[in-house]
Amino acid sequence: MDIPNTKLTRREYTAKANEWIKNNPQLWQRMKSKGNHYVRLTEILTKIHGRPFWRDQPGRNNITGTLPTKDDPGTLFQAKGQINNKVQFQSGPTRKATRGNTVRNETTVTTSRQEFLDFGKRNGYSAERSNFVYDRYVERNRAQIRSVPPGSQNDHFNPHKSKFNSAGENYRSMVDLPPPINGAKSDKLPTRQEMVSNNIPTSKQSLIRMEFNDVAPPNPKVVRAKAAEIASDSSRITARQNNARLDAATVRREQFLRNIRNQSPTFARILESGRLLPGYSPPAKPKPVKPKVSIKRTPIVNAFISAHSSAFPDSGFNNPGDEIPFGGRTVSIDPLFTGATIRLP
């Protein structure tokens, strides 16, 4: 018996899917533990609400996810990875273009609207501007996917699995490649300079900054040529090799710090604070202030100063209206001519 297409729109169908997950938490966890749970979820919902079959148009629009028409029969959608704990539905052609699967989706690093809002707040942008930039970013991601020609594979210039210089899933890091070149490139790593020179972000923050500044997107022809060059370079290190080096270095550092903590906790604190790093300079210590010698202003001292006022042409006593001795200045005198000076306020 053929299962009919759903009468719900994608928005309504997605709400039903998330409601099912909320009402069946234990079953959902068991499905997740076995893997391939999004396929299984789609099968369950299909029996209840019909096949998720909707119209699908490239770019940001109000057509994708609506019910099929006579002129637009639509295509089959499927549940995919959760965003903000909400299941999404994506069309078969789009999933094929991104070569997605359950494991890949769950390890994919994405950039959320909240991260754009946080960046905008820190840098003086209004929430309205931040939302606009995020919506434009999402639309550009979709447009890049739709631009992949038939027969090409949409893949990451910097390998998806790389722990180095990774900005996560974004249109700037994607490039369509012929299958032979994509297969030869595999997970060979580009250099940081090759990424920066082509406006490919090396971190989430650099990606968001590029979007706020509306930096020109990478030139697909240039990136495609560079990817072909990387594919033919047999000396390139791969993401797997580099990740292994990073993991090993992390283990060595943790073991080293563990040993240091056991032998010298004080030195370990200094080491972890970064004080031993090249270029570190400790904060300057304040210079000690020498105390001033003061004497009691007796009539004898005042008489002495008056008698020798010619020795202090800038004493301030010669200026009418001065209420502070020496015009507020400090003067050194040697009243007994012993070589020991006294500083008077």
Predicted pLDDT of residue 178: 87
Residue 232 and residue 247 in one domain: no
Contact 5, 68 (CB under 8 A): yes
Predicted pLDDT of residue 187: 82
Q: How far apart are CA 163 and CA 246, in angstroms?
A: 8
Residue 193 and residue 179 in one domain: yes
What the block records as the tokens of 49 is 């609400």
Predicted pLDDT of residue 29: 85
Full domain range(s) for residue 39: 1-108
Residue 164 and residue 50 in one domain: no
Residue 220 lies in a domain: yes
Residue 329 lies in a domain: no
Predicted pLDDT of residue 281: 63
Helices 239-263 and 265-273 pack at an angle, to 10 degrees, of 140
Contact 50, 3 (CB under 8 A): yes
Residue 227 and residue 245 in one domain: no
Sign of CA dihedral 159, 118, 113, 137: negative
pLDDT along the chain (345 residues), means of 10: 83 91 88 78 89 78 84 83 74 58 52 91 93 93 85 81 81 88 84 91 91 93 92 85 81 80 72 60 67 63 62 45 49 55 53
Q: Indicate the pTM of the whole model.
A: 0.47
Helices (H) then strands (E): counts for the chain: 14, 7
All residues at 6 or more sequence positions from 74 whose CB lies less than 8 Å from its CB, including other chains: 5, 53, 54, 55, 56, 67, 68
* Torsional class of 76: left (φ above 0), alpha (ψ -120 to 50), beta (otherwise): beta
Residue 93 and residue 159 in one domain: no
Residues β-bridged to residue 53? 76
Output b/e per residue, 207-236; b: 16+ Cβ within 10 A: bbebbbeeeebbeeeebbebbbebbeeeeb
Residues β-bridged to residue 156? 174
Residue 311 lies in a domain: no
Which of 108, 126, 154 is the last residue in one of the domains? 108
Which of 77, 108, 139 is the last residue in one of the domains? 108
All residues at 6 or more sequence positions from 120 whose CB lies less than 8 Å from its CB, including other chains: 126, 127, 129, 130, 133, 212
Which of 74, 108, 142 is the last residue in one of the domains? 108
Q: How far apart are CA 264 and CA 229, in angstroms?
A: 50
Predicted pLDDT of residue 326: 47
Cα distances (Å, whole numbers) of residue 292 to 286, 302, 330, 334: 18, 19, 10, 15
Residue 139 and residue 101 in one domain: no
Residue 38 and residue 133 in one domain: no
Domain tally for the chain? 3
Predicted pLDDT of residue 271: 66
∠ at Cα 13 (11, 16), nearest 5°?
115
Predicted pLDDT of residue 112: 86
Helical (H) or strand (E) element with 153: strand 153-156
Residue 24 and residue 134 in one domain: no
∠ at Cα 311 (306, 315), nearest 5°?
65
**Closest Cα partner for 84 from 114, 117, 118?**
114
Predicted pLDDT of residue 162: 78
Residue 224 and residue 254 in one domain: no
DSSP strand pairing (174-177 vs 153-156)? antiparallel
